[in-house]
Structure 1
Amino acid sequence: MLTTGQKAIVTATIPLLERGGEALTTHFYRILLDEHPEVRPLFNQASQANGEQPRALANGVLMYARHIDRLEALGDLAAQIVNKHVALQIQPEHYPIVGACLLRAIREVLGAEIATDPVLEAWSAAYDQLATMLIGAEAAVYERNATAPGGWRGARSFRVARKEAESDEITSFYLEPTDRQPILDFQPGQYISLRLDVDGQEVRRSYSLSAAPNGRSYRISVKREAGGVVSNHLHDHILEGSILELFPPSGAFTLSKGERPLVLISGGVGITPTLAMLEAALETERPIHFVHCARSRDVHAFRGSIDALTERHPQFERFYCYDEAPHAEADTQPHAVGRLDVDLLAQWLPPALGDVRDIDAYFLGPKPFMQQVRRSLLALGVPEKQVRYEFFGPASALD
């Protein structure tokens, strides 16, 4: 039980976390992954190497400390954590391992003069409170996934029924259950996680579901990343007929129903969850504006299928922006060349009523792209609560 005094101690450490939180979490991950190899499959080593995961954890720990008296104010962050944990199948037995490594990192980074016994006791109680909350929420999701029609618990075998190149970088994998039984429904925008063996090492990765649910199969569309262990393995070694292990769909970045105009904005492989959202939204009469940015036509996936939709759905408009201009004689020109900025978005969004653009905007892509899109949407009068986004990989802050 976290006491009032312990909450005060946790709150008092906020300046330390603001200055040195990333150093602390980097040391934490070093201890955890070096001394507990059994948890390594739960972490993306690329995100460790580039610092994304330590930064994301530092941000999460800081947010938790800031809201220790009113955890409901964490808002979407708690839901994002629960969904990512469920996607990777984090279990209750993992929490004591993480807690012990975190407390040790606090003592070793801050030093015994600052990380006194009362400080460690306060953070131990705070961690136990958080762990209890997350374990309970995750258990409810695991149970819901297991008991829903077509649902399951843990890993389930799927066969690659079809493998299809969508661009020079992105390939789609159509996955059907080997037991030929129905599969779990999902919400547009969610993702699925794979458990793979790559060169004798277990790895787990999450990929957005890039087609609307149909009860029979899932589709993921994977970009080949330079140096990407899993993406290159999927592109080079997973063929039609290969068997993959999947965990149930997860994710909090989902399309909400409504009548407001819908704007879907994506950069690069960020297009994947917006495809499932688009399919679902086209079954309604709400206006849809679809904006996609790519480096060039060669890496622009799904252009043909998106273009075809405009002929069947008069409420649907699409706009493309390329970094590189195609040859003048090319028959697939973008609507603009350069970077997506506030002026382009002002042209492509539904018009404002006064100072407000009453739309629902969803966007996904590389972090700098998302930062620019968020700033532009807010500058153009889109209410902040109607601006929604998701990260590939560890959750980060766009501010």
Structure 2
Amino acid sequence: MLSEQSVPVVRATLPAVGAAIGEIADLFYAELFADRPELLRDLFNRGNQANGRQRQALAGSIAAFAGMLLERPDERPDTMLARIAGKHASLGITSDQYELVHRHLFAAIAQVLGDAVTPEVAEAWDEVYWLMAGALIARESRLYQEAGVADGEVWQRMEIVARRRETADVVSYTLRRADGCPAGPFRPGQYVSVQAQLPDGARQIRQYSLSAAPGAGDWRISVKRLRDGAGPEGEVSSWLHGHARPGDLLTVSLPFGGLVPDETGDGPLLLASAGIGGTPMLSVLGHLTATGTARQVVVAHADRSPADHAHREELRALADRNPHARLSLWYERGHGADGSAAGRMDIGSLDLPEDLTACLCGPLPFMKAVRADLLRRGVPARRIHYEVFGPDLWLGRDAADAAGAGRAVGAAGTAVDDAAASPADS
């Protein structure tokens, strides 16, 4: 909770900070990487830095958190913090890095806003930062404790024991610990980070869902090769497709994240996905099927075509084996022969049970459209959860764009609602 003296200061300055947050973020990252170039080389996603997505996500998370402190002072934005903490833990972030970020972020704020940053303004926003940072540090420490490791010590060497081409652009890798021990437990819907040592010496990190149910002793990830342009975007997926073979060793994090808020519950689930977003749903459906739960599950997936649908036959087999599962498919091309529908996913055509919990994963426009359909059908926002990889531009655009237009407080609160149970990456 913000102190009484900081509330009016933050409220008065949030529109100005929101309007300048893009410029602040640009300067912050420029100065941070000038001071610590190894962070861009070995920690931050170079593709998302190049295309500006990381800056948008940072802007959105700051605006959303500040707005939440003002509009809901007695509530903690737990869902937002949980998502950021999970991503940070999967990267091995430690508390000392928050000091580094604070130094460069506040230097950027002072440079961009100039004389407007009075001592009172600086003190109030310092309080906002450390409220958020302190909450994240505590959450990340708990995640490390639950994993049984020291803070940041999440990495292990794993051997590729199988490689399978699922589609023209998707390859799956089965992983086992290099010491021969079982890979370890995880929760359905979680993800791991993978480090790739690239030809230029950079160690880039990306997150991939565990695409098979827990309990098999090995882990599986399914990697889509990104081909949407030249430059650093897609460099890790391209490296894995081109170089990673059975017998090779990868550096992989422990599992983190939580797409399904209560995977042991008994309420009905909707698993709605598009494209490679179907991979965490495989893990969830596989877990439900293997454990014999009576939980009702509606599985809905959309893709370009059957040939582009990774793990298509596996998904069908899991749904067929689970007497409580219903599967619906949509394809833009090649639909109909297997009972699939044409075009984009139509949630309105589904018979959805009452009191369901919805889990979404796929491109941002897809998730926004499905979420809007679910809200129109009366599904509460708190029951709609989502997963993205890379910067969460859902929150970033809604909060930062509106803040820049001078409506930061209300927009930030709305953005936190939009992130129900899955907040922004930082």
C-alpha displacement of 1:147: 5.6
- Residue by residue, what CA displacement relative to the aligned partner does 1:141-186 show, whole Å, maximum 9, x if unpaired? 11221269xxx93311100000111111111110000112243311
C-alpha displacement of 1:309: 2.8
- The equivalent of 1:279 in structure 2 is 286
1:349 and 1:54, CA in 2 relative to 1: closer, same or farther beyond 3 A? farther
- What TM-score results when the alignment is normalised by the length of structure 2? 0.84
How high is the sequence identity, in percent, across the aligned residues?
35
Matches within 5 A, 1:138-153: 138-146=140-148, 153=153
- The equivalent of 1:158 in structure 2 is 158
Task: Give the partner amino acid of 1:265.
Answer: A
Q: Residue 116 of structure 2: SS of its match in structure 1?
A: coil
Query: Residues of 1 paired with 2:379 and 2:60: CA distance?
Result: 26
Q: Residue 4 of structure 1: SS of its match in structure 2?
A: coil
Q: Which runs of 4+ in 1 moved over 6 A?
A: none
- The equivalent of 2:268 in structure 1 is 261
Tell whether the 8 Å contact from 1:63 to 1:74 is kept in structure 2 after alignment: no
Gaps of 5+ in 1: 352-356
Q: Which of 301, 308, 321 lines up with 2:317 in the alignment?
A: 308
Q: Which of 337, 351, 363 lines up with 1:366 in the alignment?
A: 363
Q: Residue 222 of structure 2: SS of its match in structure 1?
A: strand
Q: Is 1:388 aligned to 2:385, yes or no?
A: yes
- The equivalent of 2:52 in structure 1 is 51
Q: Residue 267 of structure 2: SS of its match in structure 1?
A: coil
Q: Is 1:35 aligned to 2:42, yes or no?
A: no
Q: Which of 233, 236, 246 lines up with 2:252 in the alignment?
A: 246
Tell whether the 8 Å contact from 2:272 to 2:360 is kept in structure 1 after alignment: yes
- Residue by residue, what CA displacement relative to the aligned partner does 1:191-221 show, whole Å, maximum 9, x if unpaired? 0011221111111111111111126211110
Q: Which of 59, 82, 85 lines up with 1:82 in the alignment?
A: 85
Matches within 5 A, 1:85-124: 85-110=88-113, 112-124=114-126
1:7 and 1:177, CA in 2 relative to 1: closer, same or farther beyond 3 A? same
- The equivalent of 1:354 in structure 2 is none
Q: Residue 76 of structure 2: SS of its match in structure 1?
A: helix
Equivalent residue pairs, number: 384
Query: Residues of 2 paired with 1:265 and 1:3: CA distance?
Result: 41
Query: Residues of 2 paired with 1:210 and 1:113: CA distance?
Result: 52
Q: Which moved more, 1:214-223 or 1:74-83?
A: 214-223
Query: Residues of 1 paired with 2:6 and 2:352: CA distance?
Result: 50
Q: Which moved more, 1:10-19 or 1:267-276?
A: 10-19
Task: Give the partner amino acid of 2:378.
Answer: G
Q: Which moved more, 1:245-254 or 1:365-374?
A: 245-254
- What TM-score results when the alignment is normalised by the length of structure 1? 0.89
- The equivalent of 2:404 in structure 1 is none
- The equivalent of 2:203 in structure 1 is 202
Tell whether the 8 Å contact from 1:64 to 1:74 is kept in structure 2 after alignment: yes
C-alpha displacement of 1:333: 4.0
Query: Residues of 1 paired with 2:61 and 2:48: CA distance?
Result: 16
CA RMSD, aligned part only? 2.3
Gaps of 5+ in 2: 228-232, 399-417, 419-426
Query: Residues of 2 paired with 1:277 and 1:296: CA distance?
Result: 23
